[in-house]
Structure 1
Amino acid sequence: MTSDDENRLGSTRIRDLLVIALVAGVALWIVIRYNYGAFPSLPWPAGVSLYILAVIEFVTGFVVRARVAGRDIGRARGQLHPIAVARVMVLAKASAILGAVAAGGWVGVLVFLLNNGLLDAARADRPAAVVGAVGGVVLAVAAVWLEHCCRAPDDPESDTDASDAAPA
């Protein structure tokens, strides 16, 4: 491996997102376990922003994918600037991490709520935790999809890491 390969930004790996989700889930479970009474009730729309971001990134993925496939990337008027593609790639990486943190955190809260089924407050908070957990997963999947769409068609890594970087 050369120095350039070591410093190169690689694709987001699913296992890294799973580790992030696991750490966030354990951390939130610990926080909620010892401080549940101090929190207000969880409204179910709390995780809706994750779905909105996921839809935006999913649609952006199709736009970028079409431009990349049509080789419509460049500095000419009407083309997608390469810096814009790089910015979209950074957005996708950050959103994948956000989705993993949100999914893991909400699952940690949900595990606590399911274990405290006798409390009316815990039963009332479950829908919000489910909406948030699913929203985090949806955002992470959309972000990985967007990142995959930013790859150049002749990228040698796109064939070798396709199973690790993008959903089937």
Structure 2
Amino acid sequence: MSDDGRGTLTPTGWRVPSLLAVLGALAGLLVANSVTGLPLMPWSAIPTLLLLAFAEAFTAGRTARRIRREPGTEPMEPLSAARLLALAKASALFAALATGFFAGMALSVSDRLELASHREVFLTALGTAASAALLLAAALYLEHACRVPEDDGDDDDTPGAR
């Protein structure tokens, strides 16, 4: 926290999503290897995650234009930008965990692809991991789009300058 009592929000770095992806992969391996029989993988997660990724990427493009106040756009309300930023951060964390989990599931059956059931689980898990990775990219893009551009005219850092 800063000295004036307000908290600061930092951009999502690479460490937390990477750690979540590794933890998710370990969990996916553990679940796949500890369950008797082959776990059923829902293919419906793939289009769902792709739709979420598309929606966040589309929103990011519009948000960036509104924050930069390009001609023909309405200015972005600060509360709306904060809500989109919260969505982006939550989506990035979830997507990193899901990418790792489903990649771990795919890895756990990759040595038995000659069986049709294992091949189906592998392809579904791999597709879901790829969709979650696209959601992660879209979430990070939305987070970047919510940044306020630097003000070129405010070069004076003295406390009374505002």
- TM-score (normalizing by structure 2): 0.82
**Deviation of the 1:6 alpha carbon:** 9.0
Equivalent of residue 129 in structure 1, options 122, 125, 131: 125
Alpha carbons of 1:44 and 1:67: their partners in 2 closer, same or farther (altered >3 Å)?
Answer: same
Residue 105 (str. 1) matches residue 101 (str. 2): yes
Q: Deviations over 1:112-156 (max 9, x none)?
A: 01023343321121221111010111000000000000000018x
Structure 2 partner of 1:9: 9
Structure 2 partner of 1:26: 26
Structure 2 partner of 1:89: 85
Alpha carbons of 1:122 and 1:70: their partners in 2 closer, same or farther (altered >3 Å)?
Answer: same
Alpha carbons of 1:5 and 1:101: their partners in 2 closer, same or farther (altered >3 Å)?
Answer: farther
Structure 2 partner of 1:62: 61
- TM-score (normalizing by structure 1): 0.80
CA distance in 1, matches of 2:101, 2:107: 10
Amino acid in the other structure paired with 1:130: L
**Quick check: 1:57–1:142 contact (8 Å CA) kept in 2?**
yes
User: Secondary structure, in 3 states, of the residue corresponding to 1:94?
Assistant: helix
Q: Deviations over 1:38-95 (max 9, x none)?
A: 633x2433322111110000000011100111179xxxxx542110100000000000
| Structure 1 unmatched runs, 5+ | 73-77, 156-168
| CA radius of gyration, larger in | 2
How many corresponding residue pairs? 149
Residue 114 (str. 1) matches residue 113 (str. 2): no
User: Secondary structure, in 3 states, of the residue corresponding to 2:11?
Assistant: coil
What is the RMSD of the two structures over their aligned residues, measured on CA atoms? 2.3
**Deviation of the 1:7 alpha carbon:** 3.5
Structure 2 partner of 1:37: 37
